[in-house]
Amino acid sequence: MKIRNPAAAIVAACLLAVSPLSAGKNLRWASQGEITTLDPHANNESFNNSQCNQVYEYLSQRDKVYGKLVPALALSWENVEPTRWIVKLRRGVKFHDGTPFTADDVVFSFDRARIANSTFKLYSAQAGIPRKIDDYTVEFTTPVLNPLFDESIGTIFIMSKAWAEKNNAAKPQDFRGKEDSYSARNAMGTGPFRVVSHEPGVKTLFVKNPDWWGIKEGGFTGNVDAAEYRPVTNSATRMAALRSGELDFVLDPPVQEVEQLRRDPALKVWEGNEIRVIFIALDQGRDELLGSDAKGRNPFKDTRVREALYQAIDIDAIRKQVMRGLSAPTAIMLPDPKGAGVPDALERRRPHDPAKARKLLADAGYPNGFSFTLACPNDRYINDEKICTALAAMWARVGVRVKVEASPRAQYFPALAKLESNAYLYGWGGGSSEGIWLLKPVLHTRNTSGAGDNNFGRLSNARLDQLITSIESEMDATRRHALVTEAVKLIQDETLALPLHRQVIPWVSKANVTVVHRPNNALFLRWVVVK
């Protein structure tokens, strides 16, 4: 093989060393992030979930066009009493080791997720307590009325009870505590692909599961027999490897190259809007902001300070200069406001007004500003570190001194869980459009049942909590969406977070590769065609 670009040689040498990938129906692909764990209940992060989903499956799932929920390992679900559901399971499904899938595995998986040190604890609690009726029937008793039960059962991956217990993996890996476990390094589900090797931070090799139940159902429309994923942190190296033929697909091309990529006949760009909101969250829990020169105080507890930071943001400059047009600025703290029933009128941001921001800071008692640290990932969202750097410069213009601390997502998310960050860049979405799926894990007061599990700034607003509780159990969609709208207005009025934008996601492949681009930014190998 001729290496036309030295930067690609690093990737190429590694790819050539993997014997299972030969010419034909194979895919070699990369992005900047690594698969942080194979334990399906350990780290609720969209990219990681998408890779677990090659191997593990849910009871319900989104269809190919990401429109409606359809059966997966469950064939049907029926609400027989207000808080009791009967779920009928698919028969004839086997795990990768050949053992049958039964109700025991469903009960085990939901019980396992309920003790996870992650948002899966909340999701499992919302689905309810499972009880085996027979080998292919499970009863779920929900804590309150659950209008989104069909979505709730599509949030927990199903594991083999026997496999987990055999390998001392009956409990989820403590990802935030950096625990090592068998389930973090190995995977065994019912899905369309099997993991045959996994080297964290280096490569993961997936091979087609010829016994997957979905093949007979027409769910495997691609022709990939084996796929190798590699995390390649340097964008120039990723793109050089794609152009030279050592990679077939890149999930996250640099936004500044997208126009050039569109003009390259050897490549194809796939793009669309993502259902994910990118925002800044602030420490609103402490009485004194850690490491700040605002001694004895926490400026972020003052609505005027939060509003000042908001109005110091030139969101149009971020869209044009940092995101190269591949973002949709937003005023709404939801992944998909339209899908959540929020009126378009609430999508109007406060204007960029540095003079107003300086006045607000002075009125709040900070005429000379103050200092804080902004935590940021550097391999999770599009141009994430560059966004943080741009924000720091904008805030500096109104007298606020910001130190940006960027780190890879494998270190970033566990660090947030320590609840020590002054402020942080975060994103949420990739799943349902319903508002509850962000409101309860991200903005509700933290509690032991999993609510607020991703509220790392310890925001606590009693009225917002009340609205979230009402939203969660409101069976009438119109009334539920009205409550969500009220919650959005409250978040805006009190500037409880700083929404930035939703990403427009570009992917790029070789011209002979066809993929299905979905708004959750997940590549599903079973739909990939390599000609």
What is the DSSP-derived secondary structure letter of residue 446? P
Question: Can you read off the two tokens belonging to residue 300?
Answer: 């972020």
pLDDT one-digit tens code per residue, 190-221: 999 999 999 999 999 999 999 999 999 999 99
CA–CA distances in Å: residue 469 to residues 456, 473, 474, 491, 499 = 20, 7, 9, 16, 23
Backbone angles phi, psi at 221, to 5 degrees: -100, -5
Predicted pLDDT of residue 119? 87
CA–CA distances in Å: residue 312 to residues 59, 307, 355, 357, 513 = 45, 9, 8, 6, 43
For CA atoms 339, 486, 348, 379, give the dihedral sign: negative
Tell me how far apart the alpha carbons of residues 268 and 529 are, in angstroms, rounded to a whole number.
13
Mean pLDDT across 100-119: 96
Mean pLDDT across 445-465: 95
At 321 the three-state DSSP class reads helix
- Least Cα distance to 455 among 419, 413, 411 occurs for 419
- Indicate the pLDDT class of residue 14, thresholds 50, 70 and 90: very low
Residue burial 314-340, b: 16+ Cβ < 10 Å; e: rest:
bbeebbeebbbebbebbbbbbbbbeeb
Predicted pLDDT of residue 449? 84
Question: Can you read off the two tokens belonging to residue 308?
Answer: 């000042």
Q: What is the mean pLDDT of the chain?
A: 94
Predicted pLDDT of residue 431? 83
Predicted pLDDT of residue 450? 87
E strand map for 9-104 = 26-31, 60-62, 69-71, 74-81, 84-89
User: What residues have CB less than 8 Å from 251, skipping those under 6 apart?
Assistant: 29, 30, 31, 507, 521, 523
- Least Cα distance to 86 among 135, 162, 26, 140 occurs for 140
pLDDT one-digit tens code per residue, 69-89: 999 999 999 999 999 999 999
Predicted pLDDT of residue 4? 39
At 517 the three-state DSSP class reads coil
* CB hemisphere CA count around 139 (13 angstroms): 10
Mean pLDDT across 160-166: 98
pLDDT one-digit tens code per residue, 34-69: 999 999 999 999 999 999 999 999 999 999 989 899
Mean pLDDT across 281-297: 97
Please determine, for residue 19, whether its predicted confidence score (pLDDT) is greater than 60: no
Instruction: Evaluate whether 434 touches 151 at the Cβ level (below 8 Å).
Output: yes
At 130 the three-state DSSP class reads strand
Q: Per the confidence metrics, is the pTM higher than 0.85? A: yes
Angle between helices 235-244 and 6-16 (to 10 degrees): 70
Question: Can you read off the two tokens belonging to residue 158?
Answer: 């199903």
- How many CB atoms within 10 Å of residue 305? 26
- Indicate the pLDDT class of residue 422, thresholds 50, 70 and 90: very high
- Indicate the pLDDT class of residue 160, thresholds 50, 70 and 90: very high
Domains in the chain and their CATH numbers?
54-176 (3.90.76.10), 273-504 (3.10.105.10)
Mean pLDDT across 230-247: 96
Instruction: Evaluate whether 106 touches 60 at the Cβ level (below 8 Å).
Output: no
Round the CA-based radius of gyration of the chain to a whole number and report it: 23
Instruction: Evaluate whether 85 touches 79 at the Cβ level (below 8 Å).
Output: yes
- Indicate the pLDDT class of residue 7, thresholds 50, 70 and 90: very low
Longest dimension (CA), the chain: 69
Please determine, for residue 24, whether its predicted confidence score (pLDDT) is greater than 90: no
Predicted pLDDT of residue 1? 33
Mean pLDDT across 222-234: 96
Please determine, for residue 15, whether its predicted confidence score (pLDDT) is greater than 70: no
Q: How far does Cα 287 stand from its chain's mean position?
A: 30
Angle between helices 103-114 and 120-127 (to 10 degrees): 130
- Least Cα distance to 32 among 201, 197, 195 occurs for 201
Please determine, for residue 2, whether its predicted confidence score (pLDDT) is greater than 70: no
Alpha helices in 17-119 (DSSP H): 46-52, 103-114
- Indicate the pLDDT class of residue 430, thresholds 50, 70 and 90: confident
String of DSSP letters for 456-484: TT----HHHHHHHHHHHH---HHHHHHHH
- Least Cα distance to 106 among 136, 75, 150 occurs for 136
Tell me how far apart the alpha carbons of residues 84 and 157 are, in angstroms, rounded to a whole number.
21
Please determine, for residue 260, whether its predicted confidence score (pLDDT) is greater than 60: yes
pLDDT one-digit tens code per residue, 350-409: 999 999 999 999 999 999 999 999 999 999 999 999 999 999 999 999 999 999 999 999
Tell me how far apart the alpha carbons of residues 259 and 155 are, in angstroms, rounded to a whole number.
36
Instruction: Evaluate whether 514 touches 11 at the Cβ level (below 8 Å).
Output: no
